[in-house]
Structure formats: C-alpha cells, structure tokens
Amino acid sequence: MAKYNWSFLKMSHSDPLVLSYGRDGYLRSSPEKCLKSVISGESLKAMVSLVSYIENMDRLKMIDGPLISFRNQSVSTLLISRDRYLSNDIEIAVSGDTRTTEFYMERVLEAMRIKFNVKRSTGIEASDLLEESPYALVIGDEALKVYGSRYRILLDIGYEFSRIFQMIPVYAVSTALSDSTVNSEDFFMKTDQFRSKCTYDLSDRLGISGMIVSRYYSNLSYLPSKSTKATIDFVLSFFRQ
C-alpha cells in the first residue's frame, strides 16, 4: 500500500498547488525523488518532469491531474552568464533537475543556429554552475534569485520556445504506475485563491521584486488543454525518432 497519495515537486511553482490540495498524505521533494517515489509504489500519484515521464512510459502512465506550464514568459527558466553576451559555440552548465527545460533550450538554440555544448553539473545554484562554464541554465527558485543579482539574463527559455514554436512549454505532468487504478481529482482548479499569498511569501523569502513574482504566478497554469497536449506530443515525437 502506498505511503503517500501524492508526490509534489519541491519548487515554488507548486506552492499554490500544495495549498489547494489542503490535506495530509503527500510528499514534497526533488524531481528525481518524486519519480523514484511513484515508480517504487511509495506514492500513488506523482508530478514528474515531462522528459522523465517519457523516459519511463513503460512503467508510468499520465493521469488526469495538474501539470506545470507557463504562458508567455516563464520568468524561471533562464540562460545566464556572468558578463558575456550570447554568441556562437558556447558551453552551458546544467544541473540534473533541468532535463525538460534543457530539451526546450536545445530546440531554441538549434532554431537560432547557435552551436552549444552541455556540461553536466552536480551544482544547482547559478554561482556554482558559472564556476564550471561561462553560461548556465537555471530554473525555479535559482532562476528567480538571478533577478536580484548582477548576472546577465540572456534568454527566457520558456518564452523563446513559445515564440519560436508557437507552443506552450509543459514542464511536469501527473503520473501513476501503468498498472494502477487512480481516481481523477480537481483540487488544482482552486489554486487562484492562494496565488496572492504565495506571491508575497516568495518575494519576501527570495528578496526580489513582487512584480517579478506576480508575473511568475500569473503566467503559471496547472490546467491540461489541447495546447498542452500538442506540446507533450511534440516532445514525445523527438524521443521516438
């Protein structure tokens, strides 16, 4: 029997989601641990990165539930440098938590005809990644912290993907074991009432402008749609090639 009903990602984009869930019986952890939790049966349902779901489709199924997507600027998927401008033939440090954003970045840079090399890193923070390479891909809170720093923001990857491919980037989906039976839930339809609180709390915690955090939560969507399905099919088509 599962220990948890849900596993949610331990990132600020999921704060309104967890508050909307509003009950016990959930785990909150990293993308890697959420994936392990649902595959092991520790969690009945889990939000995992889109790429992780696709890589584990033999064991997981996508279920009716929330997803993580952003309209327009994601604000929290950034290609940065200390002081360099975007140029050709660049090396980019990435962490293990950026798999799906890394996929979008690769598509964007290919469309822009920019040659690049990805360097895997155990670091997560911008400062650690930029110690290893002149450029870095940062996501989530680490990306939001950049707005209060002197690092140079070169691209909002989510926005550039939307602009170039005319698709809404999807970062995480709801999953369960492929042979399990789970009930659909609609708690994620009630997240709007918690966004103001989350905006204030996140702005205070990170010490960045409330306007930036407000834009972050305003552009965030948990609702599946025809547009998000089109993106999921697009990403899936690359892995089936």
Q: Which residue has the tokens 């949610």?
A: 8
pTM reported for the whole predicted model: 0.94
User: Which pLDDT score is estimated for 102?
Assistant: 96
Identity of residue 45: K
Q: Where on the phi/psi map is residue 127: left (φ > 0), alpha (ψ -120 to 50), or beta?
A: alpha
Q: Which long-range contacts (CB under 8 A, 24 or more apart) does 202-209 make?
A: 202/12, 202/15, 202/144, 206/141, 206/144, 206/145, 206/148, 207/148, 208/144, 208/145, 208/147, 208/148, 209/147, 209/148
User: Which pLDDT score is estimated for 241?
Assistant: 74
pLDDT in tens, 3-42: 999 999 999 999 999 999 988 889 999 999 999 999 999 9
Say yes or no to pLDDT of 171 above 90. Answer: yes
Identity of residue 117: N
If you average pLDDT over every residue of the chain, what do you get? 94
Spatial contact of 64 and 107, defined as CB atoms under 8 Å apart: no
Q: Which residues of 129-147 are buried (b: 16+ CB within 10 A; e: fewer)?
A: bbebbebbbbbbbbbbbbb
Tokens of 34: 């959420």
Q: Which residues pair with 8 in a beta bridge?
A: 28
Tokens of 234: 């697009």
pLDDT in tens, 34-86: 999 999 999 999 999 999 999 999 999 999 999 999 988 899 999 999 999 99
Domains of the chain: 4-71+171-203 (3.40.190.10), 77-165 (3.40.190.10)
Main-chain dihedrals φ then ψ at residue 152, nearest 5 degrees: -90, 120
pLDDT in tens, 203-232: 999 999 999 999 999 999 999 999 999 999
Say yes or no to pLDDT of 1 above 80. Answer: no
Rounded average pLDDT over 111-132 = 93
